[in-house]
């Protein structure tokens, strides 16, 4: 399989790792996702991954918790998920390393763009944990930032739907899927691609995004081959 994209940043939600359990890890689901990543890797694409933490933590558990502390808990959840993905990738025969935004040497390497690029070029998948290292910012924004820092050709956003629609396809059977969109339209119409900070960052730096369905992990390999598997957002 020939690849169109030499280097990609894959965003995987934490919820995806939980499968039908809804929380924690579903090892069979993680193994399936990693098999799709492995296929893209063996096709010759360098892969960085940002993983969310929603299978363990989504915002504040109550309105009383300080926002900064709640977001720090969420960042730690993404580190747990990054370690789980790294282990599953290694079991699938793919060399992988975790890099975190916060210094935790007993757990993982500390992220720098130079170290991440060197690891990618040496043949490793790099899994980024800890988000941006700052509260307030989402893992969508972390994905856009890391994609730019490693000079990715595209950001692949794996979701639970097969692209971007004009309205919620789970609620409206007449919802229409877009094959392509511009960032300007996404921002003007506030379409459900990612948060506005991340979308603006991608637009201003010319980073395209492909939104696709992770229910079939084979879509990861199809995406790096340039196949039409979702909605492509670009200017």
pLDDT digits over 103-127, tens only?
A: 999 999 999 999 999 999 999 999 9
Three-state SS sequence of 66-110: CHHHHHHHHHHHHHHHHHHHHHHHHHCCCCEEEEECCCCCCCCEE
- Measured between alpha carbons, how far is 62 from 208 in angstroms, rounded to an integer? 36
Between 98 and 14, where is the model more confident?
A: 98
Residue 206 in any domain: the answer is yes
What is the DSSP code (8-state) at residue 187?
Answer: H
Containing structural domain, residue 160: 7-233
In a domain, 67, yes or no: yes
Q: Is residue 146 a part of any domain in this protein?
A: yes
Domain of residue 163, CATH code:
3.40.1160.10
Instruction: Name residue 97's beta-bridge partners.
Output: 126
Binding-site members are 11-14, 53-54, 58, 71, 132-139, 159, 165, 168
Q: What is the pLDDT of residue 229?
A: 92
Return the closest-CA partner of residue 9 out of 223, 195, 227: 223
- Which residues belong to the annotated binding site for UMP? 53, 71, 132-139
- pLDDT value for 62: 57
Asked whether residue 54 is assigned to any structural domain, the reply reads yes
Of the CA atoms within 13 Å of residue 189, those in its CB half-sphere come to 13
Is a pLDDT exceeding 90 seen at residue 34? Answer: yes
Q: Which residues are annotated as a binding site for ATP?
A: 11-14, 54, 58, 159, 165, 168
CB 85 within 8 A of CB 127: yes
Q: Is residue 2 part of a domain?
A: no
Rounded to whole angstroms, the Cα distance separating 202 from 51 reads: 18
What is residue 125's three-state secondary structure?
strand
pLDDT for the residue 72: 92
pLDDT at 10: 98
Number of domains forming the structure of the chain: 1
171 in a structural domain: yes
- Asked, for residue 1, whether it belongs to a domain, the answer is no
pTM over 0.85? The answer is yes
Residue 178 falls inside a structural domain? yes
* Sequence-distant (≥ 6) Cβ neighbours of residue 105 within 8 angstroms: none
Cβ neighbours of residue 205 under 8 Å, at least 6 residues apart? 148
- Overall average pLDDT of the 188-215 stretch: 90
Counts for the chain of helices (H) and strands (E), in that order: 8, 11
């Amino acid at each position: 399989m020939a690849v169109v994209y030499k280097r990609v940043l894959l965003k995987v939600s934490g919820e995806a790792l939980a499968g039908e359990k809804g929380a924690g890890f579903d090892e069979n689901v993680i193994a399936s996702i990693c098999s799709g990543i492995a296929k893209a890797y063996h096709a010759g694409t360098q892969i960085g991954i940002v993983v969310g933490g929603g299978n363990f933590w989504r915002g504040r558990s109550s309105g009383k918790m300080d926002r900064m502390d709640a977001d720090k808990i969420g960042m730690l959840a993404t580190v747990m998920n990054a370690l789980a993905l790294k282990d599953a990738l290694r079991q699938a025969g793919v060399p992988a390393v975790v890099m975190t935004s916060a210094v935790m040497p007993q757990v993982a390497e500390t992220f720098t763009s130079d170290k991440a690029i060197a690891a990618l070029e040496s043949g490793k998948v790099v899994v980024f944990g800890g988000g941006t290292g700052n509260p307030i910012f989402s893992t969508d924004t972390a994905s856009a930032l890391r994609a730019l820092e490693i000079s990715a050709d595209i950001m692949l956003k794996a979701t639970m739907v097969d692209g971007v629609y004009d309205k919620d396809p789970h609620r409206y059977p007449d919802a229409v899927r877009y094959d392509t969109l511009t960032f300007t339209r996404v921002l003007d119409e506030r379409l459900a691609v990612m948060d506005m900070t991340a979308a603006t960052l991608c637009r201003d730096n010319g980073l395209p995004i492909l939104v696709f369905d992770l229910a079939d992990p084979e879509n990861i390999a199809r995406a790096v081959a340039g196949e039409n598997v979702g909605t492509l957002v670009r200017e």
